[in-house]
Amino acid sequence: MNSGGEAKSLIVDLCRQFYTLGWVSGTGGGISIKENGKVYMAPSGVQKERLHIEDIFVLDEQGRILEMPQAEKKLKLSACAPLFLKAYELRGAGAVIHSHSIYAVLASLISEQEEFRISHMEMIKGIRGMGYHDTLVVPIIKNTAYEGDLTTSLEQAMLKYKSTFAVLVERHGVYVWGKDWKEAKTHAECYDYLFQASIELRKLGVSSNSFTCCIANNHT
Contacts of 213 (CB under 8 A, 6+ apart): 118, 119, 120, 121, 197, 201, 206
Residue 122 annotated among the catalytic residues of the structure: yes
Q: DSSP character for 189?
A: H
DSSP state of 92: -
- The answer to whether 80 is annotated as binding is yes
Please check whether residue 97 is in contact with residue 176, taking contact to mean a CB–CB distance below 8 angstroms: yes
Residue 52 counted as an annotated binding residue:
no
The span from the CA of 165 to the CA of 177, in Å, is 6
Q: Is 164 left (phi over 0), alpha (psi -120 to 50) or beta?
A: beta
**171 with 109: CB under 8 angstroms?**
yes
- Among the listed residues 122, 147, 155, 189, the single catalytic one is 122
Annotated binding-site residue? 100: yes
Q: Is 172 annotated as a binding residue?
A: yes
For the chain, the distance separating the N- and C-terminal CA atoms, rounded to the nearest angstrom, is 45
Burial bucket for residue 135 (CB in 10 Å: 0-12, 13-18, 19+): middle
Read out DSSP for 206-218?
--TTTSSS---SS
List residues forming the annotated binding site for Zn(2+).
98, 100, 172
The residues annotated as belonging to the active site are 122
> Which residues does the annotation place in the binding site for substrate?
80
